[in-house]
Chain A
Amino acid sequence: MYFRTGFVAKYLNKFWSSPVEKHCAKATVTPIAPPVPDETPNTQSLSSSFEVLLAKAATVDETFAAKELSEMLSNVTGTAVPIVDTKGSGSGTLTLAVGYDAATAVGLPPVQTQSIQRSYASTVNPSVSCCVFLLSN
């Protein structure tokens, strides 16, 4: 039994593995092409395209968030993304307002009053909530 098993194993090694070995021996290693770097950023749309707006009264957590966003964008664009406290007027610049006060500075409506919040939360009729909102303003 041992003899037969060994014979079969030798037979298989001789005839079945040899093509593989030949293939491996003949295989040529094709060098992998080096990664193509990204295209040079478009100067008009990228190099000066981002700025992070952070209000002067921002909290520590908002400041950290602004720095994180600036760093993440800088890593991709290859240029420093400035953190400013006043929205720039550069054309083609995308302003990322980080934080509550910065968001309101670029026009996002702030919290009005607590009554408005309760009205929105408790009213299911949109016309009624609209009237409540207008009256409160």
Chain B
Amino acid sequence: MRQAALTGLGNESWVVTSNASGLAADSIAISGGKNARRGTIYGVYGLLKSWGYTFFAPTETVMPSATALAAVAALPINLTFTPAMEYVTSRRVASFYQLHCAI
């Protein structure tokens, strides 16, 4: 992870890292951009997915075992994600309705 880890993160982008230079030991930083509305929660879900959580539906979540979680949590992690568009879900859903449901 380069020095500019938190630069250029908008509302949707996020970074999850445990091996950035200067990061305290036994720490994982999860962050979106400054004052971002959604980046941080997306980062949380990104971290959980990489640790074995699977979110099938709002009420259906498959979780890893405690031993598996302990094993993967000890590994270094370095994730960065920037979506191609803002409002990833909302706009796609909105455009779908505009295309198929507007008469």
- A contacts, CB < 8 Å to B: 38-39, 41-42, 45-46, 49-50, 53, 59, 61-62, 64-66, 68-69, 72-73, 75-78, 87, 92-100, 102-104, 106-112, 116-117, 120-121, 133
Using C-beta atoms within 8 Å of the partner chain, give the interface range for chain B: 35 or more
Do A78 and B28 have beta carbons less than 8 Å apart? no
Inter-chain contacts of A97 with B (CB < 8 A):
27-31
In whole angstroms, how far apart are the Cα atoms of A39 and B66 in the complex? Answer: 8
Total number of residue pairs linking A and B with CB closer than 8 Å: 141
Quote the shortest CB–CB distance from A105 to chain B (angstroms): 9
Do A100 and B7 have beta carbons less than 8 Å apart? no
In whole angstroms, how far apart are the Cα atoms of A12 and B32 in the complex? Answer: 68
In whole angstroms, how far apart are the Cα atoms of A108 and B43 in the complex? Answer: 15
Inter-chain contacts of A109 with B (CB < 8 A):
3-6, 20-22
Tell whether A39 pairs with B67 under 8 Å between CB atoms, given A95-B28, A109-B20. Answer: yes
Do A99 and B31 have beta carbons less than 8 Å apart? yes
Quote the shortest CB–CB distance from B68 to chain A (angstroms): 9
The contact sample of 24 A-B pairs, CB cut-off 8 A, is A49-B70, A53-B27, A65-B40, A65-B43, A69-B44, A72-B53, A94-B28, A95-B24, A95-B26, A98-B30, A98-B44, A99-B30, A100-B6, A100-B36, A102-B29, A106-B23, A106-B24, A106-B29, A107-B29, A108-B23, A109-B4, A109-B5, A109-B22, A111-B34
The answer to whether B63 has its CB under 8 Å from any CB of chain A is: yes
Q: A59-B35, A61-B38, A76-B63 are in contact. List 13 more A-B contacts (CB 8 A).
A: A64-B41, A65-B44, A69-B44, A69-B47, A73-B69, A94-B74, A96-B28, A99-B30, A100-B35, A103-B6, A107-B23, A108-B29, A133-B3
